[in-house]
Structure 1
Amino acid sequence: MFILFGTKSYLYQLAILTLVCGQCGNPAAHTLRKRVTKFTLFFVPLFPISTKYVSQCTFCGAETKVSSQEAEQLQTQASAAGGTGGQVYGGQAPQQPHQH
Structure 2
Amino acid sequence: MIIFGTRGYLYQLAVLTLVCGWCGNPSAHTLRKRVTKFTLFFVPLFPFSTKYATQCTFCGGEQRIPKEQAEQLLAQHAASQDGNPFGQSPQQGYASGAPGQGQNPYQH
Which residue does the alignment assign to 2:103? none
CA distance in structure 2 between the aligned counterparts of 1:35 and 1:79, rounded to whole angstroms: 20
CA shift at 1:86, angstroms?
3.5
Count of residues paired in the alignment: 86
SS in 1 for 2:58: coil
CA contact (8 A) 1:14 1:84 kept: no
Pair 49,70 (structure 1): closer, same or farther in 2 beyond 3 Å: same
* Structure 2 unmatched ranges of 5 or more: 89-108
On the 8 A contact 1:9/1:38 being kept in 2, the answer is yes
Task: Output the CA distance in 1 between the equivalents of 2:57 and 2:85.
Answer: 16
The SS at the match of 1:81 is helix
2 CA distance for matches of 1:35 and 1:45?
14
d(CA) in 2 for partners of 1:41 and 1:79?
36
The two structures, once aligned, show a CA RMSD in angstroms of: 1.5
Task: Show the counterpart of 1:97.
Answer: none
Query: Secondary structure of 2:18's partner?
Result: strand
CA spacing shift, 1:59–1:84, aligned 2, 3 Å = farther
What is the Cα deviation at residue 52 of structure 1? 0.5
How does 1:5-84 map onto structure 2 within 5 Å?
Answer: 5-82=4-81
Partner amino acid for 2:54? S
TM superposition shift of 1:21: 0.6
* Structure 1 unaligned regions, length at least 5: 88-100
The one-letter code matched in structure 1 to 2:15 is: I
Give structure 1 regions of 4+ aligned residues with deviation exceeding 2 angstroms: 83-87
Gap change, CA 1:85 and 1:57, over 3 Å in 2: farther
Structure with greater strand share of residues:
1
- Distance in 2, matches of 1:77 and 1:37, equals 26
Does 78-87 or 59-68 show the bigger shift? Answer: 78-87
> Which residue of the partner structure matches residue 94 of structure 1?
none
Q: State how far apart, in whole Å, the 2-side matches of 1:43 and 1:77 are.
A: 37
Percentage identity across paired residues of the two chains: 69
